[in-house]
Amino acid sequence: MLEKLRKLNPDIEIFSIKDDEFKKYGNVLDIDTEEIVEACLKLTLPESGSGYEASVESLENLNISETLREKMFGGCEAQIGITHGHNTHMNGMEFHRSSEINVAATPLVLILGLQYEMDGTEYDSSRAKAFYLERGDAVEVYATSLHFCPCQLSDDGFSCVVVLPKDTNTLLEKPSDDKLLFKKNKWIICHDENESLIGRGVYPGMHGKNYEIKY
């Protein structure tokens, strides 16, 4: 699959998470994820576009959830949710002041960058790299990494577990002077041609090609 993706997408570098290149962006977790993958696949995907639920009770009650919390935050409070649906484009970049665990319930591609590559509030998309995850792969995406919605590798869409500190991605209690702070523990920029996100108040700080992952 990886070689096929590289041939179909010559405009962006695509790596495996097992490649040394990934070590700048995150860490591969050696855990059995089949339980949570099966639970994810029972959840109904959005008919169009992508969706995100910060906390999903059916995932948080699984036996593996305590393992994920321990590996992520040493037992501190965490939320286990899901992002799933349909997406093939880069569209934007976000970051947190904490790592994030992703578990691929379907094969997918993560497009990642690094915070130090930003020029203030601006980001050149040509600096981004893409990483292929197989079903069941679990990774820690470092707090220093830029990331956004996974890209599907099937017409059926994608499904991905998201583990973050409790209350991340929930509504801010008051307005912020930081124009990139969009929700709690969520700083975000979008591509300057993404009218949908701009219309929601996301700052258009990403410039260059809005990469599309072809499969």
Residue 213 maps to a domain: no
pLDDT at 75 over 80: no
Exposed e or buried b per residue across 128-155, where buried means at least 16 C-beta atoms within 10 angstroms of its C-beta: bbbbbbebbbbbbbbeebbbbbbbbbee
Candidates 21, 18, 19, 29; CA nearest to 140 is 29
**Is 134 inside any structural domain?**
yes
| pLDDT of 88 over the 80 cut | yes
Q: What residue numbers bound the domain in which 155 lies? A: 2-207
Domains identified in the chain, total number: 1
Average pLDDT, the chain: 95
Q: Tell me the DSSP string of 110-143.
A: EEEEEGGG-BTTBEEGGG-EEEEE-TT-EEEEPT
Residue 149 resides in a domain: yes
What's the pLDDT tens digit per position in 110-153?
A: 999 999 999 999 999 999 999 999 999 999 999 999 999 999 99
Under 8 Å CB-to-CB from 95, ≥6 apart: which residues?
115, 143, 144, 145, 146, 147, 187, 188
Helix ranges (DSSP H) in 44-201:
57-60, 64-73, 195-199
Say what the pLDDT of residue 74 is. Answer: 81
Query: Is 80 exceeded by the pLDDT of residue 105?
Result: yes
Contact between 158 and 85 (Cβ < 8 Å): yes
- 108 vs 73, more confident: 108
CA distance 147 to 168: 15
With H, G, I as helix, E, B as strand and everything else as coil, classify residue 173.
Answer: coil
Q: Angle 77-59-27 (CA atoms, 0-180°, nearest 5)?
A: 65
Residue 167 lies in a domain: yes
State the pTM of this model. Answer: 0.95
In a domain, 139, yes or no: yes
Q: What is the CATH number of the domain that holds 58?
A: 2.60.120.10
Sign of the dihedral through C-alpha 58, 78, 107, 87: positive
- Mean pLDDT for the stretch of residues 91-99: 96
Whole-number pLDDT of residue 197: 95
* Residue 47 is assigned to a structural domain of this protein: yes
Query: What's the residue count for the chain?
Result: 215
